[in-house]
Amino acid sequence: MVRMDSLVERFVPQLREALEIGKNAVIRPTGEEIRNVFLSGLGGSGIGGNFVQDFVREELKIPFVVGKSYEIPAFVGAGTLAIASSYSGNTEETLSALDKMLTTGAGVVCVASGGKLIDIAKEKGLDYIKVPDNWPSPRACLGYSIVQQLYILHKLGLISERATESINSAAMLLEVEADDIRKKASMIAEMLHGKTPVIYINDRMEAAAVRLRQQINENAKMLCWHHVIPEMNHNELVGWRTKNDNLAVIILRNKNDHARNQVRIDINKEIIGNYTNTLIEVYSKGSNLVEQMLYFVNLGDWISVYLAELRKVDSIEVKVIDFLKDELARY
């Protein structure tokens, strides 16, 4: 039986394989000047889009919107690069969104390991990138999702190679830090065990907090929540007014966070520390945003695996999601 820890161990090789797949992909010009980008994806494929949003924010000169539903925005049309991303190729919300994309005149590209998405791409003559289909857990395939989306943008002239080059340097960083990451993740998991995690991060890196939350949800079978700084200083901070040691706060930080956010976090620590005994600060490693965020991805994945072990739950199974899909199929 495949274990989640064996999949997390393969994250660095996956990144490198994804780079090779992306380099060799053929993506034709859309025939229109691209004025905006829309990506449809759920779960692990959707969070890939959120990472790409963060990675290209300072370089991409046009809007990049991620959709996680059956619908698409009204702006999608001629001049839109529309990406449909689903690891299985059978995500019903993404397939619904794809049907709508095909009626708009948008330039459509698909990313999947197979399934209906690739079948439709072939039938309609769409460009597509096929990733390996031998991974039992779509959420373990984040590297494939991120890298292919970056290459689509690059091959269409929307971004340089800077982000994909940073993926390669991030892989090298994670190799060097592998032992330390696992040791740190194990310690953090021990501190989170038996508590409800609350994750805070600066707004520039929200995707990393979302990823950690989702991994804790699915791998460790736990509820948790996240928020971003500075936005949480305008609402959620007021909710910290009752002592609750069942909550464990983890703050994901970077030495190059905005100076004002650094000050905000320090003040937040003083306030929140009055209401919980568990407050964990974790600083990223890496010389650029991509490296720092992928460091948090790998660290967070290991935290979720160790939490699953502490809770004695199967980190792979998602029976309740399977049940939901079976019930939906009845209607």
Does the annotation count 218 as an active-site position? yes
**pLDDT for 109-149, tens place per residue?**
999 999 999 999 999 999 999 999 999 889 999 999 999 99
**pLDDT for 208-222, tens place per residue?**
999 999 999 999 999
Does the annotation count 234 as an active-site position? yes
Of the residues 122, 124, 183, 325, only one is catalytic, namely 325
Does the annotation count 175 as an active-site position? no
Of the residues 93, 206, 218, 291, only one is catalytic, namely 218
* pTM of structure: 0.96
Instruction: Give the CA dihedral 280, 231, 48, 307, nearest 10 degrees.
Output: 20
Of the residues 234, 255, 312, 319, only one is catalytic, namely 234
pLDDT computed for residue 177 by the predictor: 98
Domains in the chain: ranges and CATH? 4-160 (3.40.50.10490), 173-311 (3.40.50.10490)
**pLDDT for 268-306, tens place per residue?**
999 999 999 999 999 999 999 999 999 999 999 999 999
Cα–Cα distance between 288 and 280 in angstroms, integer?
Answer: 23
